[in-house]
Structures are given as structure tokens and as C-alpha cells.
Structure 1
Amino acid sequence: MSRSPEPETLVDLAQDKIAVIDESGRFRYLNAAAHRLLGFDPDALVGTDAFDLVHPDDVERVRSAFDALVADGTRPDSPLEYRYATADGDWVWFRTHVFPPAETGLDGYALSSRDVTLEVESRRRLETIASTSPDVLWMFTPDWSELLFVNGAVESVYGITPDALERRPQRFLDAVHPDDRPAVERAMERLSAGESTNLDYRLGPDDGPTTWVRVPARPVREDGEIVALTGFARDVTEEYRRERQLTVMDNLLRHTIRNDMNIVDGTAERIAERVEEAVDTPATEADAPDLGGAGIGVANADSADVDSVDIDVAKLADDLIDHAETVRRVADDLLSTAEKQRGVIDLLRGHEPPQSLRVAPLVERAVADAVGDASEAPADVSVSCPDDVRAFTHPELDYAIAELVENAIEHAEGAATIEIEVTASADRVEIAVRDDAPPIPAGEREPIADRWEMDDLRHTGGMGLWLVYWIADRSGGDLAFDAGADGNEVTISVPDADCDRGFTPAERAAPTVSDDRPTVAGSEAVSESDADGEAAAASAPDGGVEEIDASPGPSPGSTDS
């Protein structure tokens, strides 16, 4: 009959390190796993302080937890994780459960320690990845009552610290745009019910700039039961801006080309009509009477007919010259539009960041360019700009200013009077351009000022003001209009150079302003403006939330709403 093994033999076969320590923390017993895991002779460790081998960064936390257990006999809510020294000077991660004497009947505190080094290292690698990811990685309980994990990106995207979100897990809803919040709450309900979701929505206030995020999410199941909800939020504002830019450009170009070609078509029709009239006019000589003895009378009649023909030919020539001038002007406008479009596309492809720049040289250059391009139209331009004002702006700010000055000169009734005033506040620089031209039509400024969607029924007549807006937007600023009977005031607002906008030190460098940048023929003042699209405040085509097909991962190309 076989004999049952000794309990100590069974304990030595355990993969975990089993130990018993007294109230002071000294070892009374260790199983054989101490040698396998740490390289120490178990008997040699008996009588030594167990905390001497705990990593210096962990020892205070571990010792405090043990002292609390000794004081009141209550075990920690969760096992202790810490680093422990090995005989060869390395460290292993232990996850230790502590059992007081009252639970074991032993003369001391039993420790069951498992080597979780690989698990901890893997988790730390994931935490490192999560900490460097620009996406918000998150995990909640199925009822959204507890935050299980979120990385630091939540602060830059949602404006909420991880600690604040942990204290109130649904606080992220406060950051959602009011119009999109109901759709987000419905998606949360669907997730809790076991559906995967993929939603685009806005973050930000109802009356301010917003950020677009794309949030794919799915439930996590174990044994068929939902145990967590996980997903990520990605900033896709730039994608929406690009889409907005394409929409604006498409509408502007179609509108411009359609109008100009209508003019060309109408002019060509009038030319054809005038030529046809001239060709069909009957010759008066065919109706002349027999010469007989009335030679003088015939001569007089011929002279009158010739004079009439000369007048008709002269009138036809004048008409044809006028029509040809119309065609030439329209052709020049189309070429200018094409050149401007080329410059805009080049800028849309670029990613030049804002820089710290002196404003005075930018204004000076803008005025010189605008007045030079409009040399045939007189203008009185006055400038008020402190020499020391610096703005954190896109380097093409001067082109935006020049566009506003050119517009004022072009539309003025007579000699234009233009005032440019630069003012600096605590965190903003404002460049106000005032003129005495007729008010900018509402159809030109409202789609920009109110961020309306452009379509065939609502559009602006040109891309100049859009380019001014895009430059301000790319600089983290905005554009404001004040049109009245006495003229217009258009104000470009950009951050002050000392205002922290979250850009890198390299982006916040203060380079000198170069005078040798290339220009685009036909529209120097605006064609190289930065065009980064309508602000994030613009709505999606459906006016707000855009739901993508429900799937575990992002699928930006499809919709199911």
C-alpha cells in the first residue's frame, strides 16, 4: 500500500513561491520554488527580512500594506504586485496573496507569490504604446458605470483628465456637441446590448470650434457574457476639413465656369446674329434707276448708299470689337481662376505649420502687392501696426491681407480709401481691414461666417474670402465681417505669438520673413494662401453625427445611417 506524500513535499512541487513570515517580516519557511524562481537556497533565507529583497521603488508600498494587515487582520482588496531580487542581481515581478494566521492556523503570515514577469512586461509594453498613441483607447464596464482603462490621449482630444473620467465615467458626454449627444447615447445603449458600433461625432460647444472624432467600439465577451466595452476615438477633423475644401472648391469652380461660359455663349450668339444681319442686307445699287440723262442724280444716290453702307460696317465693327473684348475678359477671368485653383491645390497638399512672425512686415508686403496689382485703380491705404506685435500664424497671412485690400480696391466706387489696423490683446492679434466700398453681399460672407454648407442654392461667388478664412483657420484663428452702408470691416483674428496653442517648440520658432517666395500668376495675393478647409465647426452632410457601418474596426468609407 502506497504512503501519502508529506505535505511539505507537495508544497515543494508547487510552481508558486510559498513562504511564511512573522509579524516583523522575517522568513520562517520557503518552499523549493524559491530556488527555481530566485536562485536562493530556501534554508539560507530563513530568518532574513523578506522586505530586504523587494525593489526600492516598491518596498514602501508593500511594507505599508503588510503592516496594515498585521494591525487589523484584513487582507488587501487585491494581490500585491512588486519586483523581487534574484540571486544573480535581476528582478522578477511577483503577484502575492497574503493570508493572516486566522485563516490558515499557521504561526505566521502565509505568502503565495506567482512569477508574473512576462505578464507585467507585456502589459507595460501595451501601456507604453497606449501612452504614445494619439487615439483615445478606452474600456468601460457593460453599464458604463466604471472606467476600466483610458490612456492619456483623452485629455488632448476630450479635454478630460483620466482621473476625472475615472471619478465620473460618463463625464466624456459633457464634451460631446449638444446636437450629437443623443446619437452617442443611443450608440452606448446598443453597445451595452451587445452590438458593435462605429460613429463619427463632434466634440465642442454649440457656438464654438469643434473637433470631429471617429469612434469604433465593440463589446468584450467571456463565455458568452459581456464583461466590458472597448474602443478608441480618433481625431478625424482634418479628414472633414479636406472634404469641406473639396466641396467648396467644386462649387466655386462650377459656379464660376458656368457663369463665364454663359457669357461666352451669349456673346458668340450675338456675334453670329450681327454677321447674319450684315450678310443679308440687300445691295441698294440693284435698285438704281436707268442712267439716261440723270447722271448727276445717280451719282448723288450712289454717294448716299455708300455712306449708309459705311455706317453699317462701322457699327458692325464696333459691335464685334465689343464682343471680342467681352470674350477676352472672360477668358482672362477663367485663366485667373485656373491659376488660383492651381495655387490652392498646391496649398491643400502642403502642411506648413504656424510660426511666430512679426506682423508689420507681413502687412507692409501685403499692401505693396495689392496696390501694385491694382495699379490702374487709385487707392489711399493707411496702416496702424505696432512694430513689435508678433502673431503665431500661418506664414501666408500676408496673402490673406492682400486679398482683402485687392477686393476693396476692385469694388470701390472711385478711389478706394482703406484702413488697416493691427491690435494685440492678451492672447490674440487682430488685423482689421476697413474700406468704403459697397457692402460685401450677404451671399459672399454668410456661408463663411455662419459655416453653412455650400450647395447649388447657397454659394459664394469666388474663392478669395474662403482663402482668407482658411489661412485664419489654419492659424488657429477666425474671420469676422461687419458690412454696413459706409463700407466693410473684415477682421482676421489669430493667436498671439506668446499664446500656448499646443504646438511643438520647432513649430513655435520665430523665423525671419522671406521676400523670395513664389507667387502664382493672375492672383498673387490669394493663390498661395493656406487652404486647410472649413473649420471643424462645419457640419457633416447630414448636419451632425455620421454613423459608419458597425464593425470592430474603423471603416471610414461606408455609412449605414
Structure 2
Amino acid sequence: MGTTIGPNTRIVSAVPDAGTTVECALDDLGVTIDAVQTAEACLRQIPSADGVVIADTLPDTTVVDFCADIRSRRAEIPIVVYPANGSEALAGAVVAAGADAYVPRTQGTETLIDRLRELVAADRVDTTDPTDATTAIPSTTVDVPSDRFQQFIERLPLAVIEWTLEDEIRTWNPAATELFGYTEDEAVGESAVELLVPERDRDTVYELQEAIVEDGFDGDPFWQVDTNVRKDGRQVTCEWINIPKAITSGPDNEVASVLSIARDVTEEQKRANALEERLRAERDRFMALFENVPDAVISVSQLEDGPIVEKANPAFERIFGYEEAEIVGTQIDQIIVPRDRMTDAETLNRQGSRGEIGTAEVKRQTSDGLRDFRLRVVPMETDGSSDRAFALYTDITTQKQRQKRLEILNRVLRHDLRNGMNIIDGCAEMLTDGIDDEDRKYADIIQERTDELIDLAEKTRTVERILDRDEIVDGPIDLTAAIERAVSNLESAHPSVDITCSVPDRSFAQADEYLQTAIYQLLENAVEHNDRARPTIEVTLADSPDDEFLSLSISDDGPGIPDDEQDLLEGDKEITQLRHASGLGLWLVNWAVTRTGGHLSFTDNDPRGTVVTIEVPRASVESITAASDGTATGD
């Protein structure tokens, strides 16, 4: 045949998942192609083939077993493995099984064709008479590797070591020298165990050798990670693939030796150990949190079908009155959910099973009776579905009871106290007509005090309305219009005030109508606590387009805001310092401003009085445009 590859060269292609690509490449090479889909069909073509290309996706065998099967039938035929999903481990396994070349599909068909051309040409040089049946189907003994196979092992970047069952090294490639430090002359003929295995692990290796002898060639290649010792005494962690080799000419397929492929995974193992340590630390921290968090927590599975308890923390045992051992493996909803609330519980379970966090205020049965909880169902997976979750129960029973008491007390303040003060005020006014001028001052004191209490009740109602609103602020509002309305209301209520305003035509803030209430409270406070016969107030709105905030300043010439009321707003005083309506009014102002993301501050006015500054976020162009379709809040 000579060394030229052409139409008389027959290549068997067993690459079912990329057959067209391989066949086109082989066709360009000018050879005859036998394309097959199975290992069985390929083996039927082997006797007359000049080479074979095989994939790792054959339906009726593994690529390692297939290489060994081909090699047992024709020792000299070139075998090229062309895997879709390559790895160093696979490369070592197929080479040990008899492959001549390993070309991952990522290297392309050009590399495949180059290797095939090289191998087929070399094989033809070695062939003396291709028509002789003894050369077409040579001896199946594989004890002595071909020169081609030996050359491939020499070039392989993985350490290849063949050792007999008597523990004698027979093959040692350059990569083994690089990994372990021993030259081929130093290693061949020596004990593999004594050369490479730490003394503490040698008994385990000897047991492994005995197992190989007992299993024989029917045993599959096996993988392991071991600590080995280099010539310089340094320890390395190696990943090993061990392939038993059989004496195929014998009657019982006895194991003759073991071909081992090794690679250094020391750094990988260090990273894996570090990751494992981090995961262990995270697990320990989580368990510490789980065990010590004051809220009742359980982990559950089978969420949608009815959550089954996996674990309960001590707080759950204490709050609900059930020992963990009593409820693990039970459907928790059947134990703690009242019958009339089962539908709501199922809704939360379905929400969690979809990978969504569910939150609700619920009533649950405890050993002490029904209690109120804020329940959070947190799925362990949030990618669209989750069968397992955590359920966190925060006991809000005391909070709900306190809230109810406050509602009752607030109702008394708003209605009964206000109505009573109105009656007292009216009676005091009537008394002024029937008493001497000398005693009239007492009736005036009664009226002043009742007016303060009525004003306090009104401010309390305003505060309640603000607190009942959602945290999300509506808007935007035209702050200029809000200021002008507040000023107009003040002038109507206090005609003696001298007030000047400096504001732009329009200026939009990301706030709601309660900001206007806050502005009026500041204006009213400046008048009512002013000791001048004609109070003076200046209102200025700074609107610089480059600033993120609008700045509103209200200056007066009064005696100033008491320090204890300023301390209250800065967090230095308890809420019990709200002793009168002005204190509550300033607290209302601070609340209305800060909920917008703004800020309230105080400075001394020169020469006398106080400057109160409100900074609120400027409305975005998008929100102003959206509001322009209708009427903006505050317009």
C-alpha cells in the first residue's frame, strides 16, 4: 500500500452524534469511510479497516470498554478517540484501554485528521503484507505495548505507571518523573507502594491489590484520591485512575498488571478543603442562629402538600409548648392552624412552593391557647419552585393587645375628652358675662387651657391619620402651592401676623399632602409662641435645579423653640416630653418630613428667634410627567 493515504484507505467512523462533521473531514482526506452508529457495527468492520474514530456517546458501550474491545481484536489498528466531553481522567482511561490518540472535539476536525493521517501512515510502514491474514488479525496479547502506544504514553502530560501484582513498577513515563521526582531508571523495578505511598497508608494499598486479584479483569477501572510522597519527601495529593490489564491468552482472564494514571490535585484539594471548612463554619453559624434566635422557627418539607416538620428550634418548643421529638415528621398545619384559617395557611404554603417569600399576620394554636404571630415562610430555593422552607413565627400577641388598648385610649382622647372640653369652654364663656372683671381672669384661664387641650386632641387625630398611612409616600406635590395655602390659612386664623413669602412659581417635591400640614404647624407654632404684639415670619423656598433636595426655611422673631422640644426631635428625650400641643405639633412635622426621606433642622435667627429648615426630595421628571396627566397631589 505504501505510505500514501487515499481511496484504498478505509476508516471506520463511530461518531453518531457528530457523524456528518467527521465524515466530511474524512472525505476531504480522500479516504473510504464506513460510518456506523453502534459499537457492534464498528467491530464487524474492524478486520478490514485501516483506522477507527470513536466517540464517547455510543449507545451500546462505554468508550473505555470499546477501546479495550477493539484492541483485543486488532492490536495494531490506530484508534482515535474523539469525545464530546473530554477530561484528563477520560484521556488517561482510554489510553490505558488501548487508544492511540485522544482528540477532544474542542480541538476541531483538523487536529483529528492530522493525528489520523500520522497514525495510519505509521501503521502502513510497519505492515509487511496487508493481504496476509496474520497481519490483518494479529495476536490479541497486549502484554507488550506497540511502539505507537508507547510513544503516546511518553507524550501524555499525565503520569502513567504500570505495576504488577507483585508491586513491581514496569512502566514509568516522563510525566511521572515530573510529578514524583524519580527518573525512569530509578523507578522501574522498584516497589510502587514503598516508592510512592506514605508508610501509614501502605496496608490499605496492599488490601486494594488483593481485591484486584480477587475481582480479576471483570472489575471496572476505579478512581481514587490519595496522598503520595515525592522523592524529595514532599507530600502531594494525586487523583488516580487504575485499569486492570488481563492476560488475554490465559484461560481465566487473570489480571497481569495495573495501569495507573495520576495527576497532581494538591492545590485543588486545598481549595476543596478550604471550601468545605467555610461551608462547615457557615453551617455552624446557621445552627447557632437557628438554635438561639428568639423567634419560633421550624424547617419543613413537602410544602405544597402540607408542610412536614424536619426540625424545630428551642424557641418554637418554648412558645408553642411542643417538644421537637413530638412534631418531627408530622404535618404542622394539622396541629397549630385553627380550622377556620386553614385556607389562608394553604395559600401561604403554595406561595412558598413557588419559591416566593410569604408574610402574614396569623393566629396559631399553642399550649396556652390562640396567640397572634407574624409568620414568614422562606423557601430554601427561590428559582421558581421549592419543596422545603423555613417558617418563622414572631409572637405579636402582646403588641396586638397593646395596640388595642391604645386604640381605646385614643378614642377616649379624640371623642370624649374633646367633647368634654368643648362643653367646659362653652360654660366658661358664659361665665364671663355673669362675673366681675376681677374674677374674669379665672374664666379666661379655663378657656385658654380648654383650647390647648382641644388643639392637642386635633393634632392627635392628625398624627393618627399619618401613622395609619402606608410607608410609601404619594406625590409629587407642588410645594409652592402647598406653602401658599398654608400661609393663607395662617393669615385667616391670625390676622395680626406679618408674613412675607419668597417662593418660585412652581416647585415639585416627592411628598404628599401631609407636608402641607407640617408647614402649617410650623407657621402656627411661630405665631402662637411669639411674645411680640405683631409676629414677623419669613418663608423662603430655595429651588436650585442642580440640588436633589428642595430647601424650605421659616424664620420668626419669637423667643425660640424650647431646648427640650428640640431634644425630643433629635432623639435625646422620651416621647413623654410631649406635654402640650406645640410639642406634638413639632413631632408631627418631623414625622411628615422624615417619611419623605427629608430632614428637619433648627438654627438661631439673627438677632432673635428661630429658623426652621425643611429639606425634602425633589420630584423626578418621570413622576411630574405622570402626575401632569391628572392633578398632582396638593394642587
**TM-score using structure 1 length:** 0.40
Which structure carries more relative contact order (alpha carbon 8 Å, separation 6+)? 1
**TM-score using structure 2 length:** 0.36
Q: Which structure would you say has the larger Rg?
A: 2
